[in-house]
Amino acid sequence: MKLKLTFEAEKNVELPIHYNYILQGFIYNNLAKPFADFLHNEGYRYGNQIFKLITFSKIYGRKKILKKEKKIIFSPSFHIYISAIDTHILQNIAVELIQKENLRLHRNFISLKSVETIKEPVTSTKTILKTISPITVHESLNRKTMYYNPYQEKFYKLLEENLRKKVAVITGNKNAEILIKPVEGTKYKKIITYYKNNFVIEAWDGKFQIEAPPEIIKIALSTGIGARNSQGFGMVAVSEECNERRN
């Protein structure tokens, strides 16, 4: 399930360029305590790994980037997307935001203008996904983080393994058939994010093709693909290009 949350402010909204952790904190702070505690302290376990099974997008709206000041200025009206496998979490976020007249995002005061449920019907076993927030893929080698890019086969192997684990957590199926590959002609854009100003995360924007049963593609749309979904990475949507091909 995916929600589109539209906000408005009385003036422009000013944030650090690397604002993922601020948006993550905003979401957690506007969850009822039981839900926030579950996501923060427990999550969904697969062996030694813990998945949150929630993700969110970057901020969408008119913006101006001030590189020297390391700031980004958004127009007073902007929106984000948030999705999760547990619809109760999304319903709670919506209720909490609706009930609060004044919301604080970093040093900005904003209010919720509208909530929209995004319908993403999936009937095919082959779908083109586009990133709503960039995808990050990595593994630890000799205590160092090794990032991979969409031009490497390992990138897709790790994407598939990651989604397979999420499917196992949700459905119990540990052998889901999943194939993720690049879309021919796509130019992938590298995004570097400084999480909490000091931890560097390498991620990529673009389009990807997924081949899997529809119910697994729906899981990818709800949980995100790749790593660090709960930090605002790996959110995807069905590409308009895919709909055009069906017509």
Q: What is the pLDDT of residues 114-147, one digit of tens each?
A: 999 998 989 999 999 999 999 999 999 888 999 9
Top-confidence residue, 247 or 216: 216
Q: What is the pLDDT of residues 4-35, one digit of tens each?
A: 999 999 999 999 999 999 999 999 999 999 99
**pLDDT at 94 (0 to 100):** 96
Those residues with Cβ within 8 angstroms of residue 121's Cβ, 6 or more apart along the chain or in another chain: none
Tell me which of 18, 19, 28, 156 is the catalytic residue: 28
Is 88 among the residues known to form the active site?
A: no
- Overall CATH class of domain 126-246: alpha beta
Query: How much is the CA Rg of the chain, to the nearest whole Å?
Result: 18
Strands (E) located in 119-196: 126-131, 138-141, 144-147, 179-182, 189-195
Is 40 among the residues known to form the active site?
A: yes
Token pair of 57, please? 């997008």
Tell me which of 18, 19, 21, 40 is the catalytic residue: 40
CATH topology of domain 2-118: Alpha-Beta Plaits (3.30.70)
Q: Taking residues 61-82, what's their average pLDDT? A: 97
Those residues with Cβ within 8 angstroms of residue 30's Cβ, 6 or more apart along the chain or in another chain: 93, 96, 97, 100, 103
**pLDDT at 105 (0 to 100):** 98
Please name every residue paired with 201 in a beta bridge, in sequence order, or none if there are none: 193
Which residue type occupies 166? Answer: K
Q: Which backbone phi and psi does 45 adopt, to 5 degrees?
A: -95, 140
Domain residue limits, the chain: 2-118, 126-246
Cα dihedral 118, 2, 91, 112 sign: negative
Same fold, 2-118 and 126-246: yes
